[in-house]
Amino acid sequence: MRLDGRERLDGSETLADPVAADRPSIIDELMEAASTRLLETSYFDVVELCVRALTLAVKASDWDRVARIALPLQEARRQIRQLAVDVPTVRILDTQAQLRRPAEPGCYLVQPPLIGAEARAFRVSAEKRRVPVFVLAREPRTDAGLWPIVGVSSISVRTKVEPPPGVEPDDASPTRDRVKDGIPKDWFEAAAEALGDAGFASVDPAWPAAHRVEDLIERLDAVPEHEKLHQHLADASRDAMREPAPPAPRRRGADHPFSF
């Protein structure tokens, strides 16, 4: 199935070029297809279709459609996350050789000497092959004994959390500690929740709603498993419907996705 805007989603006929065609009708067609795929439990297709529709809707400042796209996107990602969480163990990745192996369903903690950008690449590769994974990246233990957790897109989202139980200091390690007893699933999910919360907290509520929509999409790209970010996106989109267009262009800080 081609999804480049030149072939209909059912394969029956050709669409006009998306730039010249009626953008709302393309968005609606994408979302009709997403609804069908959701009923068929083809969750990766739903995500792909929703992300395409979201991109078009934001370009058109079609905030009503952005709000309506957010919730099926949230549902599809929830189902993918649940398939990953159903695998009982959390795997730790810390070598290039591990990254090169085909991903299996499950939860993965990527840690130094690997970095957040490599965790993202691992997740994207798994998604392309329709493998349900839930991926977090950590950075070296801080002097205060905390674990920095990071999500990467065009920006980086960071927070610091208490490490899981059974972690011992080891300054000779790239992580500055050693995980003795594995990573509990409840700690993993709580750390991911804290990361998404930090992403939302970094969006200034005083900014124009249209700008907050784009900020939230960037953070969702870094932390796609976080359900409340999808809900915040829908809320910001509804706010943007009620506000006049921002008088100034959107501004955002620079962040380097390849740094620790």
Element (H, E) at 90: strand 90-93
Give SS3 for 152: strand
DSSP state of 140: P
Lowest mean pLDDT among 112-126, 207-221, 244-258: 244-258
Q: Is the pLDDT of residue 5 over 80?
A: no
pTM (2 d.p.): 0.86
Q: Could you tell me what percent of the chain has a pLDDT over 70?
A: 88
The structural domains of the chain, with segments of one domain joined by +, span 1-86, 88-260
Task: List Cα–Cα distances, 202 to 78, 155, 196, 209, in angstroms.
Answer: 23, 11, 10, 14
Separation of alpha carbons 53 and 24, rounded Å: 9
Mind listing the pLDDT tens digit for each residue in 163-196?
Answer: 999 899 999 999 999 998 899 999 999 999 999 9
DSSP state of 249: -
Q: Give 158's strand partners.
A: 150
Mind listing the pLDDT tens digit for each residue in 12-61?
Answer: 333 444 443 477 899 999 999 999 999 999 999 999 999 999 999 999 99
